[in-house]
Structure 1
Amino acid sequence: MQLCDEHGLASVAFPAISTGIYRFPADRAAAIAVRTVVDALPSAPGVTQVIFCCFAAPSGELHQAVLDAFGSPCA
């Protein structure tokens, strides 16, 4: 998010990685990713869109559940 702010970027995408071959727990990965972005957004006020790029439906569902817990609108 800091780099987005420094370079004047309005959007950024984060891939859901490490949960496949590296077997990092997908639920923890989703929670960490979403929490980190939510916490960092105030430091990058120009960012208007964040995309969590999930490569499988279960990963997308986990990310959506975490986003829903924040009451975050998303498409």
Structure 2
Amino acid sequence: MAADKLQQLLQELQQQGAVITSDLRDALAVALGKLPLVSQQEFDTQAKILQRTREKLARLEAEVEIMERALAEHEKKNPPTD
């Protein structure tokens, strides 16, 4: 008799555990759906774009530095006459 009651309680607990687990999974899926997540592929694509942008910026900065030096040298040789 007591074994039957224990068995019944165990089955009920297992059922309740399954329900709770299902509810938690659903809640987690909803919460994750609201997060601003991107796929690994999108992340990798954006990382590559960022790397190319950094490289281009470095090239442009170097070009500007060369032009600034050339301008300074030109102004040194040909000072503005007011």
Instruction: Tell me whether the two structures share a fold, i.e. TM-score over 0.5.
Output: no
* Structure richer in strand, relative to its length: 1
Which structure shows the higher helix fraction? 2
TM-score by length of 1: 0.28
Q: Which has the higher contact order (CA 8 A, sep 6+)?
A: 1
Largest Rg, 1 or 2: 2
